[in-house]
Structure 1
Amino acid sequence: MDFPIFHIDFIGNRLLIAIDAILHVIINHAFAIGALPVVALFEFKGMQTGNRQWDDLAYRLLKIIFILTTTVGALTGVGIWFSAALVNPAAIGSLIRVFFWGWFVEWLVFVTEVSLIMVYFLSWQQAAKCVDAKRKHLRFGVFLATFSWITMAIIVAILGFMMDPGSWLSDRSLLSGLFNPMYLPQLAFRTALAMVMGSMVVLFLLCLFSRGETSVRDVEFKRDAVSLLSRWSAVWVLLLIFASVWYYNVVPGHMLESLPVAIATQDYVSWHSSLKWLLIIGLIFVGLTIRASFKCPGEVSMKRYAFSVLLLFAMLGQFERVREFIRKPFIIGQYMYANGIRVEEYPLLQRDGLLQHAIYAGIREVTPDNTLHAGREVFAQACTRCHTVKGVNGIRAQLQRMYGDKPWDAKIITAYLENMHNARYFMPPFPGNNEELKALSAYLASLQKNAEPFHGAQVSGIPKPDSVATSTSYGFLPDLSKVLTGVNE
Structure 2
Amino acid sequence: MNHPVWDLPLMGSGWIIGLVSIIHVSIAHLVVGVGFWLALMETRAQRGRDLELQGWLRGRAKSLLWLSSIFGAATGVGIWVAMGLVNPTATQHLIRTFVMGWATEWLLFAGEMATLIVLVQAYPRLRPGQRLALVWLYALCAWLSLVVINGIVTFMLSPGKGWSTSHAMVDGFFNATYLPSLLLRSLVALALGGLWAMAGRIPLNLKARVLRPTALLVVAGILLAGLSGWYYFQSFPVAGKELVLGNLRGATGLAQGFHWALLGLGAFLLPSFLALWAMLGASSFRRSGALLGLLLACWGFGGFEWIREVARKPYVIREVMYSNGIRVEQVPGYQKDGFLPANAWARTFAASKGDTDLAKGEAILRSQCLACHTRDGYRSLKTLTASYSESDLVGLVQGLRELDPGMNPYLDRMPPFAGTEQEAELVGKYLHTLKAK
- Scaled by the length of structure 1, what TM-score is found? 0.81
Q: Deviations over 1:29-87 (max 9, x none)?
A: 11x10112222222233322232321232122222221121112101111111221222
Superposed displacement of residue 270, structure 1: 6.1
Distance 2:355 2:40 in 1: 71
Counterpart residue type for residue 57 of structure 1: W
Pair 1:175 & 2:170 matched? yes
Structure 1 counterpart of 2:346: 361
Aligned counterparts of 2:229 and 2:434: Cα–Cα separation in 1: 44
Q: Measure, in 1, the Cα distance between the counterparts of 2:346 and 2:261.
A: 40
1:25 aligns with 2:25: yes
Contact 1:189–1:240 (Cα < 8 Å) also in 2: yes
Structure 1 Cα separation of the partners of residues 310 and 105 of structure 2: 26
Query: Is the counterpart of residue 134 in structure 1 residue 128 in structure 2?
Result: yes
**Mapped pair 1:433 → 2:420:** yes
Equivalent in the alignment of 1:159: 153
**Whole-angstrom distance in 2 between the partners of 1:389 and 1:343:** 25
1:484 corresponds to which residue?
none
Change (3 A) 1:370 1:195: same
CA distance in 2, matches of 1:396, 1:17: 23
**Counterparts of 1:140 and 1:418, CA distance in 2:** 61
Contact 2:319 2:328 in 1 (8 A): yes
1:359 deviates by 1.8
Alpha-carbon shift at residue 345 of structure 1 (Å): 0.7
Q: Distance in 1 between matches of 2:7 and 2:144?
A: 34
Structure 2: 5+ residue stretches without partners = none
Q: Tell me the equivalent position of 2:221.
A: 236
Give the C-alpha shift of residue 243 in structure 1: 1.5
Q: Following TM superposition, by how much is the alpha carbon of 1:224 offset from its aligned partner in structure 2, in angstroms?
A: 1.9
Q: Which has the larger radius of gyration?
A: 1
Residues 349, 363 of structure 2: 8 Å contact kept: no
Residues 308-343 of structure 1, C-alpha deviation per residue, up to 9 Å, x if partnerless?
111101001111112111211011110111110111
Q: What pairs up with 1:471-486 in 2 under 5 angstroms?
A: none
Does the C-alpha gap of structure 1 residues 178 and 397 become closer, same or farther in structure 2, counting only changes over 3 Å?
same
The counterpart of 1:340, out of the listed 315, 321, 325, is 325
> For the residues of structure 1 that align with 2:252 and 2:223, how far apart are their CA atoms?
37
- 2:183 aligned residue (167, 185, 188): 188
Q: Write the mapping of 1:60-99 to structure 2, written as runs, cut at 5 A.
A: 60-99=59-98
Q: Which has the higher contact order (CA 8 A, sep 6+)?
A: 1
* Whole-angstrom CA distance in 2 between matches of 1:369 and 1:75: 41
- Alpha-carbon distance, 1:393 to partner: 2.9
Q: Compute the RMSD of aligned alpha carbons.
A: 2.3
Amino acid at match of 2:368: A
Answer yes or no: is 1:315 the counterpart of 2:300: yes
Q: What is the distance in 1 between the residues matched to 2:282 and 2:186? A: 25
**Structure 1 residues 106, 375: closer, same or farther in 2, change over 3 A?**
same
Bigger shift: residues 289-298 or 381-390? 289-298
Moved more, 325-334 or 58-67: 58-67
2-side partners of 1:238 and 1:447: how far apart?
49
Partner-residue secondary structure (3-state), 1:36: helix
Name the stretch that deviates more: 37-46 or 105-114: 37-46
Q: Match of 2:3?
A: 3
1:446 shift after superposition:
0.5
> Please, which moves more after superposition, 414-423 or 61-70?
414-423
> What's the offset of the Cα at 1:356?
0.8
3-state SS of 1:298 partner? helix
Q: Deviations over 1:119-140 (max 9, x none)?
A: 222222433xxxxx23212211
2:410 equivalent to 1:410: no
Give me the whole-angstrom Cα distance separating, in 2, the residues matched to 1:144 and 1:101. 21
- 1:124 and 2:118 correspond: no
* Alignment partner, residue 111 of structure 2: 112
Determine what percentage of the aligned residue pairs are the same residue: 27
AA aligned to 1:242 is: L
* Aligned-partner Cα distance in 2 for 1:359–1:434: 20
Match of 2:431 among 435, 440, 444: 444
- What's the CA shift for 1:245? 2.0
Q: Deviations over 1:342-363 (max 9, x none)?
A: 1111110001111111022236
Counterpart CA distance in 2 for 1:313 and 1:121 is: 27
Distance 1:85 1:69 in 2: 23
In 1, distance between residues paired with 2:15 and 2:332? 30
SS at match of 1:331: strand
- Deviation of residue 244 (structure 1)? 1.4
Conservation of the 8 A alpha-carbon contact between 2:218 and 2:272: no
Q: Secondary structure at the match of 1:378?
A: helix
Q: 2:360 aligns with which of 366, 374, 385?
A: 374
1:267: how far off?
4.3
Partner amino acid, structure 2, of 1:176? D
Distance 1:274 1:392 in 2: 16
Query: Corresponding residue for 2:374?
Result: 388
Match of 2:208 among 212, 223, 226: 223
Structure 2 residue aligned with 1:476: none
Whole-angstrom CA distance in 1 between matches of 2:101 and 2:190: 24
- Measure the CA separation in 1 of the matches of 2:96 and 2:418: 24
